[in-house]
Chain A
């Protein structure tokens, strides 16, 4: 190119929109969206499933089913699909180089990938959770479950974005963290549960909605405290992602 190209100030405010739009346009191809539709569908089906339980109140049946199906399975797996897509998949395919080889600061890249991913969760998984509550006939659960899903997916997407830049087989590690770390160890150890987006999101819902007492878990923050805990987890994971991006080695596939 012979024409000189003027460069504008490298303000993050000009880069951030481009980075987030890239997430929507490039990181979520149709196949990913189709895969993401599955956990969203499972969440909606939870509402239908709870209607089939007639021997307890609707709120209790929905809460018990949502506990396992929504918070224990669909939300983490949906967030995994998103979180892996926005960074881990790009590292594996080599397309992250298009973003890495620019003056973009690593914190901007980490934040934008998370923000884009969380936004996708907010328009897919969170409405599905709210819809499930409506279908189940427990309108007063819509707010708590939407808030819990939003806060939980924020932390989960951050977790999977972090894993995407520090682990080579990010999808496998992410699945291991959900199934072994959160489901298995988190169920047994309160210390793990306190750091688990799954358990903290569940605690938000259980404490803010009208659910049976036995669903509440002692020893971990609940209600708005859990929301704050999830926000802190998210920030720490994003800082870790920025650190990971700085030390990331994009070696490519061939020499």
Chain B
């Protein structure tokens, strides 16, 4: 299941058909284009977000941050509409009590303490519960340093301070732009758990990251933006499976690599075969098989090997990670 955006995507709310859309969407992006001067940042992009964690992927300059800022109303769309909780976030100020964003930028008011920043957000969002500030700080493990100036914090601590400020209003929609930047491994695990909990609570959590393996751990759903357009959306594995026209590579190790390579060449599902040389004269370390149909290859490989009298030792998919998928999408 994969969606590639384009002129054909004219019906945006087809959640059961199009994986770019979800049922009970809280955030709907409809045919949105944004450009800055001559630079097109987003182009005819349509998708929606609902409860749970959604990973937003794309290379630098793909338009992820622009999309997140458009969702929060920080920038206006030149074409199309953005609706968050049923309203336009550029026009409806009250909805900002229920949306929160953690910007990617490292900028924080350095002379404020973490507690002051969180309190400021709480007061502007009309949070009456005085314990909410302490609770937000505790959620990101900043209570001990809450009265220290943010300017003296490490990048990871500043990031957590921003997250606490975002959480204090108990938002329904949380937009996190590279929220794990600067966090140490322990904090990353803790924050990923936090985002999971927030998503499980029914909040819409949109997370962008360049650390793809973390998104794999984080997101139940992935939206891929490439060059300002929606490149793919849906479950990570579903996206990969749907890329039928993109060859997948498999490394096969056996006791007869050259013989197996010749046998595999005649299979219809195989696009190319290359024998991986090793340091021994005439030796090999496996066969890299490129296929457009991994399922058919999986069925044909054992029988082909058996008919050739070759013993299979190992079969390793080479490009089943998001990184590889990403590379294919941006190619």
Interface stretch (choices B132-140, B183-191, B216-224, B321-329) = B132-140
Please tell me if the beta carbons of B41 and A101 are within 8 angstroms of each other in the complex: no
Please tell me if the beta carbons of B135 and A101 are within 8 angstroms of each other in the complex: no
Chain A residues in contact with chain B, CB under 8 A? 1-10, 14-15, 18-19, 22, 25-27, 29-30, 93-95, 97-106, 247, 249-255
Please tell me if the beta carbons of B111 and A26 are within 8 angstroms of each other in the complex: yes
CB distance from B102 to the nearest CB of A (A): 10
Please tell me if the beta carbons of A8 and B74 are within 8 angstroms of each other in the complex: no
Highest count of chain B CB atoms <10 Å: which of A25, A95, A97, A98: A98
CB distance from A26 to the nearest CB of B (A): 4
Residues of B within 8 A of A1 (CB): 132, 135-136, 139, 167, 170, 198
Bound form: Cα–Cα A13–B61 in Å: 41
Contact residue among A6, A30, A249 (Cβ-Cβ distance under 8 Å from B74):
A249
CB distance from B34 to the nearest CB of A (A): 9
Interface stretch (choices B46-54, B118-126, B276-284) = B118-126
B100 CB–A CB distance under 8 Å: yes
B258 CB–A CB distance under 8 Å: no
Residues of B within 8 A of A104 (CB): 93, 96, 124
CB distance from B153 to the nearest CB of A (A): 14
Q: Which residue of chain B has its CB nearest to the CB of A92?
A: B107
Q: Which residue of chain A has its CB nearest to the CB of B167?
A: A1
Bound form: Cα–Cα A103–B41 in Å: 27
Residues of B within 8 A of A254 (CB): 60, 65, 104-105
Bound form: Cα–Cα A197–B119 in Å: 36
Bound form: Cα–Cα A2–B199 in Å: 11
Contact code string B61-82 (vs A, CB < 8 Å = 1, else 0): 1111110010011111000000
CB distance from B286 to the nearest CB of A (A): 39
Please tell me if the beta carbons of A251 and B75 are within 8 angstroms of each other in the complex: yes
Contact residue among B66, B110, B117 (Cβ-Cβ distance under 8 Å from A29):
B110
Residues of B within 8 A of A30 (CB): 111
Contact residue among B97, B103, B117 (Cβ-Cβ distance under 8 Å from A252):
B103
**With A95-B108, A250-B74 as given contacts, are A105 and B93 in contact (CB-CB < 8 Å)?**
yes
